[in-house]
Amino acid sequence: MWFVYILLCRDNSLYTGSTNNLEKRFLSHQNGKGGSYTRSHKPLKIIYKEIFKTKSEALKREIEIKSWSREEKLRLLDKL
């Protein structure tokens, strides 16, 4: 099982990523061992996630969401 997720960071920015272990990846981000972006923009919480059967599907969706503006990402969250 693979996840695409969006994190809310302390500076109110959004970070999008993918993983096969969401809890472990979130802890890595919080401990400064995740992506370089989250080392300088500390994540507060997971605000969105989608589940996929394959890594390929998750990566395609991650790339799609990363191409969106902040407003488009917020509209996705509003649909929850």
Return the DSSP state at 11. Answer: T
HSE-up (13 A, CA, CB side) for residue 38:
23
Sign of CA dihedral 69, 47, 4, 10: positive
pLDDT at 67: 98
**Structure pTM?**
0.94
Which CATH architecture is the domain 2-78 placed in?
3-Layer(aba) Sandwich (3.40)
pLDDT in tens, 55-70: 999 999 999 999 999 9
pLDDT at 79: 83
Sign of CA dihedral 15, 39, 37, 71: positive
Report how many helices (DSSP H) and strands (DSSP E) the chain contains, helices first: 4, 3
